[in-house]
Chain A
Amino acid sequence: MIGVIWVIQFQGVSKIYSNGVAALHDINIHIEKGEFAFLVGPSGAGKSTFMKLIIRKELPTSGQVLVGHKNLAKMKAGEVSLLRRNIGFIFQDFKLLPHKTVFENVSFALEVIEASKKDINRQVPAVLELVGLKDKANIFPSELSGGEQQRVSLARAIVNRPHLLLADEPTGNLDPETSWGLMDLLLEINKRGTTVIMSTHNKNIVDKLRRRVIALDSGRMIRDEQKGGYGFEN
């Protein structure tokens, strides 16, 4: 995937799960490299499915998802691994490993793709410094606040310098002040060239930042606006 221009395209994408739930309907969208896009909409609108299609956790029922002009449905298992090495992912519930320290949680992401010890020892401290957790490298996630845990999760997501960062309601469990701290980091990462797609219910953040807003409702795209607002009643 190196050298590929990280354009994300949805072409007439629909997703119906095997249990009959129709999550997305005829989505057409184009996200350029380096963009910052909010994905908004009520619960069950299809935001998570949208994310899962990009990392190829799910395949579309019809239509095509292309990353760097490559059709994800035609990828082999090995290519999917390589794709994911270029995508960082953070979650509302952090998904940290409780028996590993902050450092180990971050280095884990490099170890399992067989990065060299040299790379690990260079990149992990650097990324922990970026998220402001350099001093807490050797403690366990349970000793951290929610905001700090999400920053560990972010460090893990970006330690491999991905082209794309997906954030699935990353501020969902954080208080407003901590949320803004995280947003500053996401904006900083975006400024360094990483595409960021963030799903959120946080009206305040969306309205203040005025970035691209993609709004979903009941699986349909109802709005795609540069410098948009949240638009839903909270």
Chain B
Amino acid sequence: MKIKTFWYFTKEASTGLARNGLMSLTAVITITLALIILGSFYIVVTNVNHFTEMAKGVLEIRVYLKEDADAVSLQNRMLSFDGVKEVKFVSKTEAANWLGKTLGIKELHNYLAADNPLPDMINIRLEDNVELKELTARLESLPGIDEVEYGKDFVESMLLVIQVIWVIGVSLVVIVGLVVLYIIVNTIRLTVFARRKEIEIMKLVGATDWFIRWPFMLEGIMLGMGGAILATIIISKGYHLLIAYVKELAPFIPLLSEHMVNGGLFWLVSLVGLAFGAIGSLMSIKKFLKV
């Protein structure tokens, strides 16, 4: 594309925006609102992901041993598994002591000493990003293992939450995409209609279809990107306030910092704004190119 042509396209696109000033403004505002919904959801998702990963990191797996188990060799083998950070052997006596202390019954130790029903146990601290199900299966396959226990309910409910989030996320992208598309199609259609005579003449004197399309596509992209930039600014300001608020009221909730979400937020929102802006423009002009 020649530079001169590029400037021509930009000039034409800006003229189109200015000509329908109020409509363009309404379009940008509506697109901004739609993208704010999408962007806010992105912030929720990244935080939930972050929280889940963190929760995995502090999780422990408890492996209960059978009476005849070889605790030392088991510990060595466990340490060689992916995702295992450290292992700690807890004997049944220690367990009984801990239980007695926790329950506040001193006699429990004495009582249990005679015939301690508690099993020996190995506690495993995990690395981040561990595949829990896989690791548990490997642990269970070791000899001398009675039972493997971890925060199964918690992990499974988190997995469910993540699945639900995915479904909502994909639906949101589709719905917000359609909203943006609808607005762009209708806004650009006004410009296209106002300039249908020019388009007809352009076709007749032999301008290529892409030459005719570009200014309208740029106009759609400008609307989409305008909305995307506004949405990013508003969400990022809002999130900034939220972080400060949460730090004050509930400091134990681990929110991601702004600079960790802003980049991804901008890309997601811009991509949706840009792609649907361009597609919407192409849809608006399609009919008028058949000259």
Contacts and interface: CB of A to CB of B under 8 A. Distances in A.
B200 interface: yes
Contact of B209 (A77, A86, A111): A77
Interface in A40-61: 55, 57
Nearest to A80: B206
Contacts of B205: 84-85, 89, 108-109, 112-113, 156, 160
A117 interface: yes
B82 interface: no
Nearest to A57: B291
A78 interface: yes
A66 B251 CA distance: 79
Nearest to B2: A114
B207 A113 contact: yes
Interface in A191-215: none
Interface in A117-147: 117
Contact of B197 (A57, A82, A97, A117): A97
Interface in B162-207: 197-198, 200-207
Given A57-B291, A114-B211, A117-B4, A108 B206 contact: no
B207 A112 contact: yes
A83 interface: yes
A83 B201 contact: no
A78 B208 contact: yes
A81 interface: yes
> In the complex, which of the residues A81, A156, A160 has the most CB atoms of chain B within 10 Å of its own CB atom?
A81
A97 B206 CA distance: 17
Given A97-B197, A114-B211, A84 B203 contact: yes
Contacts of A78: 208
Interface SS of chain B: helix, strand, loop or mixed? helix
B25 to A, nearest CB: 23
Contacts of B212: 112
Nearest to B207: A112
A112 B202 contact: yes
Contacts of A69: none
Contacts of A160: 205-206
Contacts, number: 50
Given A57-B291, A114-B2, A89 B204 contact: yes
B207 A95 contact: no
B197 A95 contact: yes
Interface string A73-100: 0000110011111110100000101000
Nearest to A153: B201
A19 B288 CA distance: 19
Nearest to B198: A97
Interface magnitude class on chain B:
10 to 19
Contacts of A84: 203-206
B208 A81 contact: yes
| Max count, chain B CB within 10 A of own CB: residue among A111, A117, A160 | A111
B8 interface: yes
A216 B83 CA distance: 87
A175 B86 CA distance: 101
A86 B291 CA distance: 17
Contacts of A114: 2, 4-5, 211
Q: Which of A55, A109, A112, A114 has the most CB of B within 10 A?
A: A112
Contacts of B209: 77, 81
A111 B2 CA distance: 12
B59 to A, nearest CB: 61
Nearest to B291: A57
A188 B205 CA distance: 21
B204 A112 contact: no
Contacts of B208: 77-78, 81
A97 B204 CA distance: 14
Contacts of A86: 206
Looking at B5, B8, B203, B212, the one whose CB has the most chain A CB atoms below 10 A away is: B203
A117 to B, nearest CB: 7
A78 B211 CA distance: 11
Given A55-B204, A81-B209, A112-B207, 8 more contacts: A81-B207, A84-B205, A85-B205, A86-B206, A109-B205, A113-B205, A114-B4, A114-B5
A-B pairs with lowest CB-CB distance, top 7: A85-B206, A84-B206, A112-B207, A109-B205, A81-B206, A81-B208, A112-B202
24 contacts: A55-B204, A77-B208, A77-B209, A81-B206, A81-B207, A82-B206, A84-B204, A84-B205, A84-B206, A85-B206, A89-B204, A89-B205, A95-B201, A97-B198, A97-B201, A108-B198, A108-B205, A109-B201, A109-B205, A111-B8, A112-B205, A113-B205, A113-B211, A117-B4
